[in-house]
Structure 1
Amino acid sequence: MKFWINNNDFIYLFQLMKAAGIEQDYETIGKIINEGRVMVNDQTVFQQRLKLQNKDEIRYLDYHIKVHERDEDGGIPAEFNQSAKTIGNVRHGKVQSWKSQPVKLEMKIDDEIAQLSRKLHQKLSAENKTISCAESCTGGLFQKIISEQSGASKYFLGGIVCYSDFAKQKILKVKYSTLNSFGAVSDKVAIELAQNTQQLFESDYAIAITGIAGPTGGTKEKPVGTVFIGVSHNQKMRVKKLFFDGNRESVRKKTCLNALKFLLGR
């Protein structure tokens, strides 16, 4: 299949899979990509928002799609006119004209994360303060976000992805009694994680994230999307309980967005 985009334009991988008719549900598309079942230019990819441009090739199951640019007038270049009659074609306009609400919402979240990450960078740099992290359900995503800022090493001391209860107890010294009484997804565990992380790294701030990203693991008392964020600073603890809808990736992104807001006092 040939997939046509405007001259000098691009399309995201998850958009192409929808527009080309491979799958209609964004959650399914996200799962397929996250599981490493899609190849771009003969390389396995895991990024839903990977930018695809002219001559990129995408393979999934029996689908083989090659991206092509229209000419400057918006038409199909002459050398493709004949093959266009016999080979499957999909035409697509500018990404800016894509009207899907899930796509627009995801882009908005990503943009807000980038904006708040820069603000946190400015805040910690200006105050000459340091930060450390403990992450469970976000799996290191929050640390990835804040370490993307150039110069982050001046304030970001490090973090622990304590995904299992074993790691929470062994590395960050969360009490067994706390885990047993309240569960890993609780305000009490978020507090211990934040306090113990701050002690371990000797940082000014410490943030802890624990929750249920889904799609499995939820209960009636703690449904999928339940998240606790704890922040330790100046010998004071703040903890917040939040609920997020959406698929696994969406819950993790929304959690990181709200963790940034929490640190910035929003």
Structure 2
Amino acid sequence: MLLFILFTLLPQIQAWGSLGHRTVAYLASLHFTPESNTFTNTLLNGQDISEAALFPDKVRHMPQFAYSAGWHYIDAQDSPPHQCGINMTRDCLAEGCVVSAIANHTARVADPHLPRFYRGQSLRFMIHFFGDVHQPLHTEAEDRGGNEVSVSFDGHATNLHSAWDTLIPNKHAGAGHDDELLAAWTWAQRLYANESQPFDECMNDAAECGLEWASEANAYVCSYVLAKDVHGKDLGGEYYEGAVPIVDEMIGKAGRRLAAWINAMTAPASALEIQ
């Protein structure tokens, strides 16, 4: 209980921003089967799923969770915008990265022999990392994932990473909303209503799928995020307009893919148990 109180009081560390992570979680819930709804509500002890999605960012700088800091990204040592690509043996640190963390925590959530507390904690990590792996700059080492690229956004000084994590999603989906949960729920519903692609997701192996998703996000670093020199530029205009479809696409894919994996875990054939 003390740990829960402490991490709810900590400032949030942005990664897709809290609006993006909440939207991924809510969108996944719109795709859940009844069994998945029961499963997630039980493991989360009734906590709002969008709040659960923020847990890894809230605790990553606490001493007892310091080991998890490197799990939020994979630092592709590529050369954007000329060449993008992820190499697991080169880019995933010894202590882990977002791809290995997805594989690890997905397996823990699905393990009926693991105590419910640990499965619930891993579910929070799983929800969060499915979001992180779809943020292009969480798959890139250049300038510390854009953190060292100084830009402005609608006249305010910031950096490229923060623009993608927070400012672009908030301008796109948070404008006009005083309630972040309502903004996230509204965005998730809009993405759900506008889905047109078949629900055909990578389901063969969590590590392989995580690498596939990271590579997909990383490709946008070359094709758009760093395709042109953005140093010192204001990104609130034409750049923002071009980024919005990418943000919608990647948030949408993260939510659908998260739901597909949790639905597979809770399918009757999986004989999954909650202890």
**How does the TM-score come out when normalised to structure 1?**
0.29
The structure in which a higher percent of residues are strand is 1
| Greater relative contact order (CA < 8 Å, ≥ 6 in sequence) | 2
The structure in which a higher percent of residues are helix is 2
**How does the TM-score come out when normalised to structure 2?**
0.28
